[in-house]
Structure 1
Amino acid sequence: MASSIPYSVRPEWADVTPMRLPEPERVVAIQYTAEHAEALGYFRAVLQSGELSERVLTLTADMIRFNQADYTAWRVRWLCVQKLGSKALEEELAFTHAVMLENAKNYQVWNHRRLCALQLGPSVADREDEVTREAINFDEKNYHAWAHRQAIVKMTERWQAELAIAEEFIRRDVRNNSAWNQRMFVLKHMPSSGRDDAAWLRSELSYVAEAIRHAPRNEAPWRYLTGIFATLEPWSSQPHALSCHFDVYTICTEALLDCPSCAPAYDVLAQYYEGLAGLGEARGAAQVESQAPGARDNLPAIVSSVLQACEMAQGALDEAAVADPMRTPYWYHRQRGTAHIMAATTAMLT
């Protein structure tokens, strides 16, 4: 990646006086090699002078070779690239690819490549697709590669293609939470105008149900299921939208028939009943506040339905605590929430 010729004998650096490193602390001193220490002296000098040039770009390559996580070297490198122009930007794609081959989960290299790619524009889309696929094929849960794809697809708006890629990786491994996250990212950002929301939701819930049938205890599709209603419009703006769709109840109960100790199913089933209780509580509060004659006539039935939903939620949370005892404090916390709803709703009758 870089030359091993000492900087002190390089003619292009003859006009620079390296800055001496401070005396090392006695405790936990950083152990630099002689080569690294020399390069660092020159790097500190150009930091002080603010120089941004071709030779500083070369120096940063050395600094990164010594320590690929040196965020200061990456930052100075980006400033140099910006000053040197489009040719340097193109060359950076090759440089970052070489670093990725050594350390595919280095945050700094992906951040630097993203800056360059976004500066170059949509023309790099195919190249970035190839590079990120290479990284993801090596490690299908490489968060940095997936995040890089998100930046590129937002720039190019190749939403349908990215949706197909996420689906491809989900087919390979239904437990790939990164691919599920990518699917949610695409659906959140891609245009949905003209879509039949009801038909789309039925199709998506069917897709999730099929994934759950393959691996009921796999958290990824369950989190994706709840994310549909929490993240995507028009459902995210509707109170307790998850509880307004009986298909969610069906998915949970079918999963529990196949896998009676499925904690994620009990979790979502409890959310379903908690939402029903919340909707009922809101209806009851509206009746209490209404001044219309006979407005409170249906209140006992509403309170009864809320209490029943809370009891079902608490029962599901009891089962979740048995299936997943490590999260027992969380399940109890949820049960306390339903207990508050029960108390508040019962008070409406007084």
Structure 2
Amino acid sequence: MSPSQQPLVDLRSDTVTRPTPAMRAAMIAAELGDDVFGDDPTVNALQARIAAITGKQAALFMPSGTQSNFCGILAHCGRGDEYIVGQLAHTYRYEGGGAAVMGGVQPQPLVQDATGRMSLTDIAAAIKPDDPHFARTRLLCLENTWNGQLMPDDYLRAATDLARERGLATHLDGARLFNAAVASTAPGQDVLERVAQITGLFDSVSVCFSKGLGAPIGSALCGSHELIARARRIRKMAGGAMRQAGLLAAAALHALDHHVERLADDHALAERLAKGLSGIEGISVRSAATNIVFADVAGDRAPALLEHLQAQNILATGLIGLRFVTHLDVDAAGIDRTVAAVRAFFGQPEGLKDATGAASGPY
């Protein structure tokens, strides 16, 4: 079989997952209504379920995480307000500037360290005095996971405590919240209990169903009744109100029932990939946490490596460094093929010993 005829190994993102047969069956069987009128029972069930999981009063189903974050920021802030956010955070860098462009809400980006954390000193210094010269600082936005890395509880607690002491609301971009919870659940602890521990530190949280959980579409914003009422109006203005959305909500409900604990499998595959890559001269693993592996390629060979992988029917991205993301449509055989293809690109046969003298396989 030629390389191009091998099964596709798509490591670009966990957004590329396809609904499983069981999820498709749940979608077909979903009871439907009109969600704009509030009478789609499956959407209502999902909203009640995710609100309960996150420990919030209410939730609102959205087409995307970008819209969920957008509606959350605008529900917390008005025109002329600002939110404090990491300079490399998704809500600042990768959402088209929507809060500023369409909501008149100014971001105040701060430098993040290699683990995604802004310093508490920088956060405190960025909060503006109540003076007409300045935008009004209203909100602190954090992200967990960030580039696959966990935000420690002590940091989240200290940052949100600081925000509350200074009169700010707090929002969590929890696109991969369940990855964070699975990776940090204590022995004997329920994963959903762990989710609630994380989200309990925040006034609102955005949760994505279409990444590691494997639903085809959808995110939810969770918060107080008052915040969700404001967000519902904003969602309507943004064109995000859907009709028989229960088809999509059913997929998300199925994911919550069946795809949460299996995220540990994705984390194990990412670890397998990182271990395999670490024995290859010419590539260095920068970070490998939960289901995302970042690597740096010596010289300017990253574009050529991506082309080589694509020729082997293996996909990855190089937008912010070489990035590989594991998910439910990737298996151990695919990871091993990826390592072998990278090794071949650098002209290093399988079994070559790494710098420690240990054999480089198995992966």
Q: TM-score range by the shorter chain?
A: under 0.3
TM-score by length of structure 1 reads: 0.20
Higher strand share: 2
Question: Whose Rg is larger?
Answer: 1
